[in-house]
Amino acid sequence: MTEKVIVSMAQISPVWLDKKATLKKVESSINEASKDKSDLVVFGESLVPGYPFWLALTEGAKWDLKINKELHSHYLKNSVDIENGDLDEICVIAKKLKIAVYLGVVERASDRGGHSLYCSLVYINKSGKICSTHRKLQPTYDERLTWAQGDGNGLKVHDLNGFKVGGLNCWENWMPLPRTALYGQGENLHIAVWPGSDHNTRDVTRFIARESRSFVVSVSSLMKKSNFPANTPYIEEILRNSPENLANGGSGISGPDGEWIIEPIVDKEGVFSCELNLNRVFEERQNFDPVGHYSRPDVTQLIVNNDRQTSVKLISKKNSKNE
């Protein structure tokens, strides 16, 4: 039997720093993907409520600057609190349409006190269940001024129509050990999410596919100067320093031979779908399998800590006499 999966890439812009409005766009894109009989729809990194572009536009590294504090506060209040039910409606739609979802969010993590932000990639299965929330291990450059470091809890793969699907955020895709952690769990459909642009996706998408002998789906967001809402704090300063195009997309799909199936799509908003055949993975693994016949675990091994990290663990000692 040949296993197949239809994957949709939702290359859209956020309603920047507006969680509720952006989630409505996500819902609309999921509905559009279902019209293509999609099994999986993927959204870009930190789409909800948007990438922290202001850090590069407002002297983000300057110490104790009021503009950065106020924008961070605004960002936090519009971030996604999963435990509080912010993604419940997305889960309901996924279950109703029987479609899996990979969604990039900025997560306000209740299990870390609720005041720090994580760049998280959430996987929701066809039954509407959140199966993993992968918090970006290492925020990149100026991202470290607003996002905290994640952990290995979300380094998981999931069954989907015979495939094993896993995902990483942006430059994590350049990190060989997190990639290997997914390969070792049987990943053969790799999801790479990005804030945008084709300069990120054009090389690494094909590289990972060639290295892993897997399908690789890179999905980016879009962001133009005109997408900044007028009610954004310090909007005048942001617009004064902003280029016209901050993220041009670049979503694309590579096959397990490292060749393009869909070349990077630039400056075009929409939902783009493609059917993938698992048999192509089996064919390419014949001569190379990075964690199978072309590995030497007797010489090198990877150890992964997949515990969810937390600063406080509450232990309650029950007194049977008072029960």
Number of H helices, E strands in the chain: 7, 13
Q: What angle do CA 16, 17, 20 make, to 5 degrees?
A: 95
Q: What is the pLDDT of residue 20?
A: 96
Q: What is the pLDDT of residue 1?
A: 54
The candidate with the shortest Cα–Cα distance to 252, out of 222, 218, 221, 216, is: 218
* Catalytic residue positions, numbered: 45, 136, 170
- Judged by DSSP in three states, 152 sits in helix
Query: What are the pLDDT tens digits along the chain (323 aa)?
Result: 569 999 999 999 999 999 999 999 999 999 999 999 999 999 999 999 999 999 999 988 889 999 999 999 999 999 999 999 999 999 999 999 999 999 999 999 999 999 999 999 999 999 999 999 999 999 999 999 999 999 999 999 999 999 999 999 999 999 999 999 999 999 999 999 999 999 999 999 999 999 999 999 999 999 999 999 999 999 999 999 999 999 999 999 999 999 999 999 999 999 999 999 999 999 999 999 999 999 999 999 999 999 999 888 888 877 655 55
Whether the Cβ atoms of residue 53 and residue 223 lie closer than 8 Å to each other: yes
In the block, residue with structure tokens 């232990």: 315
Structure tokens at 51: 């990438």
DSSP-assigned beta bridge partners for residue 254: 216, 260
- Tally of CB atoms within 10 A around 24: 13
| Architecture, CATH, for domain 4-322 | 4-Layer Sandwich (3.60)
Q: From CA 108, how far away is CA 116, in angstroms rounded? A: 6
The runs of H, that is alpha helices, within 3-87 are 19-34, 66-77
Rg (CA), the chain: 20
Q: What is the pLDDT of residue 230?
A: 93
The domain ranges of the chain are 4-322
The candidate with the shortest Cα–Cα distance to 221, out of 194, 188, 184, is: 194
Q: What is the pLDDT of residue 188?
A: 98
Q: From CA 160, how far away is CA 5, in angstroms rounded? A: 8
Q: What is the pLDDT of residue 314?
A: 85
Structure tokens at 168: 């990483």
Q: What is the pLDDT of residue 321?
A: 55
Q: What is the pLDDT of residue 60?
A: 86
